């Protein structure tokens, strides 16, 4: 209780470093408490937190409170944000707090009101410089999106010498190319997944960088009594090559992933494996100061759990029409294109169109005419930083779900958001 009161008092004095003295005699000061958001403060600490900032729009920014040791070569940041959203669906509803076209429902009523605060995020970030070897980062973060609105881990990793070890967003993704949305899931065709991994990234020089990883495989198939995917035998292997320019404000990235997916024929207890793969091109381009463009296109086989809308369908592998004991892979794609226009430092607008598509092989469409073929997602929004650290958002979403029999379902949603970062 005392420490909380002290931190609150320090927040009223931005940029002023205060030493916390131990009452024991002959004991030196162990901690310094400062705000990284003020005019003063330790520039070295601010620099480390800024240069290791996560680029995703929904990730928290630089922490307000930082604890440092006497030598100030290590610092622990405590931060996050509290976000509250109001959602209203009309002329069709989506059966989720996030806007997935694959989950559009045609059931009555065709209107829906929802409120949500589960995306509120809390994180701890430890940073330090290990001699001339560069920064070491220990990061853990979570929100309240677990079952029953319980706290759920989102990130937990260590970064050092180009390596990332732990639980994080996947390497096949391009976080910096994600467009801004109030909707937490984002565009239906965007690649997004989280997994345990070991990743290595390296700057090759002149804006060129590369990364490769081994990741815990994510394999989703429709649950039944014929096959099991509980045990996987090989990791997924994603890699990327990126070229950046304009002081890192723009980049183009080419990514690929190999996925060996094992399934068991439960009738004969026999294992088989299929080789999934995916390729992706993504970019964010700054056109002058006010305009940014975002884009991504992904295509592959057996990558359903890596694409937003398709991840709800359990289509990494699907059964052959002739037998449910043998599985095969369907081609699939996901893409989006969007733009953000910065009216002022405190106000910007954006719009994005996205599409995800499941293609057919081996008579899959004929055997499953009412199943998902394509999702479309259109979003337009405005964000305003009303006062420092308080961002307000207003957003319109429209989604279409098309099945293999060409039946189309539609839904609309309006989102209101208030987010306070600390």
Cα(266)–Cα(280) distance, rounded to whole angstroms? Answer: 34
CA 151 to chain CA mean position, Å: 17
Cis peptide leading into residue 58 (ω within 30°): no
User: Quick one: average pLDDT of 180-190?
Assistant: 97
Cα(318)–Cα(314) distance, rounded to whole angstroms? Answer: 8
Lowest mean pLDDT among 60-64, 171-175, 360-364: 360-364
Asked whether residue 43 carries a pLDDT value surpassing 50, the answer given is yes
**Under CATH, to which class is 42-421 assigned?**
mainly beta
Q: What average pLDDT does the chain have?
A: 88
The most confident of 31-45, 314-328, 400-414, by mean pLDDT: 400-414
233-243 pLDDT, tens digit per residue, is: 999 999 999 99
The most confident of 37-51, 246-260, 319-333, 353-367, by mean pLDDT: 246-260
Lowest mean pLDDT among 196-200, 251-255, 313-317: 313-317
Asked whether residue 166 carries a pLDDT value surpassing 90, the answer given is yes
316-351 pLDDT, tens digit per residue, is: 998 887 777 888 899 999 999 999 999 999 999 999
Q: Where along the chain do its domains lie?
A: 42-421
Structure tokens at 219: 């394999």
Contacts of residue 404, defined as CB under 8 A and 6 or more positions apart, other chains included, come to 360, 365, 368, 369, 370, 371, 372, 373
- Using only C-alpha atoms, what is the Rg of the chain? 23
Asked whether residue 352 carries a pLDDT value surpassing 90, the answer given is yes
pLDDT at 44: 62
The pLDDT confidence band at residue 182, using thresholds 50, 70 and 90, is very high
Which pTM does this prediction carry? 0.87
Sign of the Cα torsion 125, 130, 132, 133 reads: negative
User: Quick one: average pLDDT of 188-207?
Assistant: 96
pLDDT at 417: 98
Phi and psi (nearest 5°) for 6? Answer: -65, -45
Contacts of residue 326, defined as CB under 8 A and 6 or more positions apart, other chains included, come to 265, 272, 319, 320
The pLDDT confidence band at residue 14, using thresholds 50, 70 and 90, is very low
The most confident of 64-78, 205-219, 315-329, by mean pLDDT: 205-219
**Tokens 């989720």, residue?**
96
**Tokens 């006497």, residue?**
70
368-387 pLDDT, tens digit per residue, is: 888 999 999 999 999 999 99
Lowest mean pLDDT among 132-146, 216-230, 285-299, 302-316: 216-230
Asked whether residue 310 carries a pLDDT value surpassing 90, the answer given is yes
Share of residues in the chain with pLDDT > 70 (%): 88
Instruction: Measure Cα distances from 118 to 62, 82, 121, 168, 363 in Å.
Output: 21, 9, 8, 19, 41
Cα(271)–Cα(262) distance, rounded to whole angstroms? Answer: 7
pLDDT at 275: 95
pLDDT at 37: 52
Cα(123)–Cα(94) distance, rounded to whole angstroms? Answer: 30
Q: Confirm if 93 and 398 have CB atoms less than 8 A apart.
A: no
Q: Does residue 7 or residue 174 have the better pLDDT?
A: 174
Structure tokens at 322: 């002739």
């Amino acid at each position: 209780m005392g420490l909380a009161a002290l931190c609150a008092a320090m927040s009223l004095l931005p940029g002023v470093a205060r030493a916390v003295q131990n009452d024991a005699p002959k004991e030196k000061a162990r901690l310094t408490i400062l705000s990284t958001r003020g005019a003063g403060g330790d520039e070295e600490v601010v620099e480390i937190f800024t240069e290791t900032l996560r680029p995703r729009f929904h990730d928290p920014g630089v922490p307000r409170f930082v604890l440092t040791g006497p030598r100030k070569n290590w610092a622990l940041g405590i931060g996050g944000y509290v976000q509250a959203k109001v959602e209203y669906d009309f002329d069709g509803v989506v059966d989720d707090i996030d806007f997935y076209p694959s989950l559009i429902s045609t059931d009555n009523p065709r209107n829906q009101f929802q409120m949500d605060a589960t995306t509120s995020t809390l994180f701890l970030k430890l940073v330090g410089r290990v001699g001339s070897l560069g920064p070491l980062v220990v990061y853990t973060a979570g929100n309240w999106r677990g079952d029953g609105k319980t706290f759920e881990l989102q990130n937990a990793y260590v970064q050092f010498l180009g390596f990332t070890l732990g639980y994080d967003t996947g390497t096949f993704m391009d976080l910096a190319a994600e467009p801004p949305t109030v909707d937490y899931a984002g565009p239906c065709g965007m690649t997004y997944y989280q997994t345990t991994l070991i990743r290595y990234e390296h700057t090759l020089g002149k804006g060129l960088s590369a990364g490769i990883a081994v990741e815990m495989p994510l394999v989703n198939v429709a649950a039944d009594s014929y096959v099991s995917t509980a045990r996987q035998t090989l990791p997924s292997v994603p890699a990327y090559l990126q070229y950046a320019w304009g002081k890192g404000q723009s980049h183009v990235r080419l990514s690929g992933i190999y996925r060996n997916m094992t399934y068991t024929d439960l009738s004969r207890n026999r294992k088989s494996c299929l080789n999934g793969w995916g390729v992706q091109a993504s970019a964010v381009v700054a056109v002058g100061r006010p305009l940014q463009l975002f884009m991504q296109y992904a295509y592959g086989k057996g990558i359903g759990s890596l694409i937003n809308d398709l991840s709800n369908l359990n289509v990494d592998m699907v059964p052959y029409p002739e037998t449910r004991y043998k599985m095969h892979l369907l081609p699939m794609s996901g893409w989006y294109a969007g733009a953000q226009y910065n009216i002022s430092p405190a106000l910007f607008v954006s719009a994005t169109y996205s599409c995800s598509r499941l293609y057919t092989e081996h008579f899959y469409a004929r055997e499953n005419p009412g199943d998902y073929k394509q999702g479309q997602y259109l979003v337009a929004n405005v964000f305003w930083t009303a006062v420092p650290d308080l961002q307000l958002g207003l957003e319109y979403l429209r989604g279409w779900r098309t099945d293999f029999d060409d039946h189309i379902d539609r839904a609309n949603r309006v989102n209101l958001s208030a987010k306070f970062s600390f």
